[in-house]
Structure 1
Amino acid sequence: MSEPSKLDQPIVRHSPSTGAQSPDVWGIYEPDTGSIQYICADPATRKAALIDVVLNFDPAAFSIDTRSMDQVLKLVEEHGLSVEWVLDTHPHADHAMASARLKERTGAPNAIGEKVADIADLWRGFYNMPKAFDPARDF
C-alpha cells in the first residue's frame, strides 16, 4: 500500500478581513513545488479571485492531475464564494498553471500581467517553438 499524498492533508492559512477595503485571504500550500496558492475574497459580496493555482504534474507517471486545484475549489465552496477572476502573477517555471482548467470549470476569466508577452517571446526562442506560448490566446 502506498503512502498517503501530502495533498491529502492540506496546509491552509486564513487571514480574515480587518474591515472595510480588506479582503479575506486564504493561502494554500502545495508541497510538491513549495508554491502557495491564494483565494482572495470580498467578505461582503463573497466574490473571489483565485491566484497562482497549481496543476499537479507527476514526472514519474508523466501525468497531470487536479488535486491542488480541487482543494482550492473545495475551499471556495465551503466558504460560499463566487469565483470572479483566475489570476497568475507571472509564468511559473516551478509548476503548471491551472488557469485554463479553472476558467473552464468556473466560467471566470483568467488574466496575467502584460510583461508575460516579453517572457513568451524568450521562451519561443529558447524552445524553438515559434507558435507556442501565446498569452493573447491563453489569457
Structure 2
Amino acid sequence: MKPEVRCVLHEPSNTFSYVVWDPVSRRAAIIDAALDYDPHSGRSGTDTAQKLVDIIEAEGLEVEWILETHAHADHMMAIPFLRSHFDAPTAIGEHITGVQERLVWLFNLGADFPADGRQFDRLFADGDTFSVGELPARVIYTPGHTSDHITYVIGDAVFVGDTLFMPDAGTARCDFPAGDARQLYRSIQHLLNELPADYRVFVLHDYGTENRGLAWETTVGEQIRDNIHVGQGASEDDFVAKREARDATLPMPVLILPAVQVNIRAGHFPAPEDNGLRYLKIPVDEFRAHWQLPASANRSA
C-alpha cells in the first residue's frame, strides 16, 4: 500500500520532518518533528512544527502516532507542542534507555531521573508491527549512527532517519556516543537486502550539492546502485575506513549538548528550578567523543 507523504524542512539543522498518512482512512503519523531553538539566546519556538500541524489540518487528518527514529543530536523534539494539538501516543526505539543511562551520568541528572524510557508511550523493538490507518507498519533496528536508532517502514515508505542520506551524499556519521561504523554498514545492508527495490526512502537530512538543491526522497534500488558509501557492493572494511576518516574531520553539531538533554525527556525541557527558570547544562572540559559510562555510574549495581 502506498501512503501519502509530505515533509517540512527545519532549516537550521537541515532536518526533514514528515507527515505520512493512509489516503483512505486519513489517519496519519508524524515522524521526527523538530522544535526551533536558538543556542545564542536560549529561546525556543514552534514555527517549524506548526507547519506540520498546518498540513494535518489542511488535509483533514487524524494523527495516530508521533514517532522518533532516535535521540537526535542536532535538533530538539517537538513532541510536547504536537501533543498539545493531537492526542496520539509517542514512540521511539527501546534502546533509548541506554542513551538515557549515559547522559544521566554526563549531565549529573540524579538517581531519580527515570532512565527507563517512560517519557515515551511506546518503546519499539526490532520487528515490532503497528499500523497507520489501514497501512501496515513495522520497525527495523538500525544501530550505527546511534545505539538507539530505528527505521520505520510504513507501506512502501521507508523512514531511515540518520542511517542513509541521498545516494550522492552517502551515509550518516558514526562518532556519536555508542555509534559504530561496522554496525551502521550492517544495518544498511540489512535494509537494502530486505526491502523491495521500488520502496521509497525518505531521509532525515540533506545539505544539497554543487549540482542540485535539497532532496529528501530516493528508492532502495537507487541506494543499492548509486550510494557513494555503500552502493555497488562496497565492502565493510572499505566503508568503515572511509566513514571513520570522514567522521574524524567533522565538528560536533552546534546543538548536541542542549538537544540530547531535551530529547531524552521526549522533547521536554528540564523542570523549573526554585527561581522559576529552566536550565540546560554544559559540561566544561569533559566533552568526550563517546561519553563512556564509567563503572562507578552504573545505577543498577
Identity of aligned residues (%): 31
State the structure with bigger RCO (CA 8 A, min sep 6), 1 or 2.
2
Cα deviations by residue, 1:44-88 (Å, 9 ceiling, x for unpaired): 000000000011001222111111110110011111111111011
Q: Which whole-Å CA distance do the structure 1 matches of 2:106 and 2:114 have between them?
A: 12
**Which of the pair has more CA radius of gyration?**
2
What is the TM-score with the length of structure 1 in the denominator? 0.79
- Give the match for residue 123 of structure 1: 103
Equivalent AA in structure 2 for residue 107 of structure 1: D
Q: Which whole-Å CA distance do the structure 2 matches of 1:114 and 1:103 have between them?
A: 21
Q: Which whole-Å CA distance do the structure 2 matches of 1:76 and 1:37 have between them?
A: 13
Q: Which whole-Å CA distance do the structure 2 matches of 1:37 and 1:102 have between them?
A: 13
Equivalent AA in structure 1 for residue 32 of structure 2: D
Q: Which whole-Å CA distance do the structure 2 matches of 1:137 and 1:104 have between them?
A: 16
Name stretches of at least 5 consecutive residues in structure 1 with no aligned partner: 1-20
Any conservation in 2 of the 1:48–1:85 contact (CA below 8 Å)? yes
Aligned partner of 1:41 among 21, 35, 47: 21
State whether structure 2 residue 57 is matched by structure 1 residue 85.
no
Any conservation in 1 of the 2:92–2:120 contact (CA below 8 Å)? no
Q: Which whole-Å CA distance do the structure 1 matches of 2:67 and 2:120 have between them?
A: 12
Provide the secondary structure at the position in 1 that maps to 2:81. Answer: helix
* 1:77-116 mapped onto 2 (5 Å cutoff): 77-116=57-96
- Give the match for residue 62 of structure 1: 42
Cα deviations by residue, 1:107-126 (Å, 9 ceiling, x for unpaired): 11111111111111111112
Any conservation in 2 of the 1:42–1:48 contact (CA below 8 Å)? yes
Q: Which whole-Å CA distance do the structure 1 matches of 2:119 and 2:40 have between them?
A: 30
Equivalent AA in structure 1 for residue 118 of structure 2: A
Any conservation in 2 of the 1:100–1:138 contact (CA below 8 Å)? no
What is the TM-score with the length of structure 2 in the denominator? 0.38
Any conservation in 2 of the 1:49–1:86 contact (CA below 8 Å)? yes
Q: Which whole-Å CA distance do the structure 2 matches of 1:22 and 1:133 have between them?
A: 38
- Give the match for residue 55 of structure 2: 75
Query: How many residue pairs end up in the alignment?
Result: 119
Equivalent AA in structure 2 for residue 44 of structure 1: V
Which runs of structure 1 show a deviation greater than 4 angstroms over 4 or more consecutive aligned residues? none
Q: Which whole-Å CA distance do the structure 1 matches of 2:114 and 2:41 have between them?
A: 24
Name stretches of at least 5 consecutive residues in structure 2 with no aligned partner: 122-301
Any conservation in 1 of the 2:29–2:64 contact (CA below 8 Å)? yes
RMSD between aligned alpha carbons? 1.4
Aligned partner of 1:137 among 94, 97, 119: 119
Relative to structure 1, is the Cα distance of residues 81 and 31 closer, same or farther in structure 2, using a 3 angstrom cutoff?
same
Q: Which whole-Å CA distance do the structure 1 matches of 2:118 and 2:53 have between them?
A: 26
Aligned partner of 2:5 among 18, 25, 38: 25
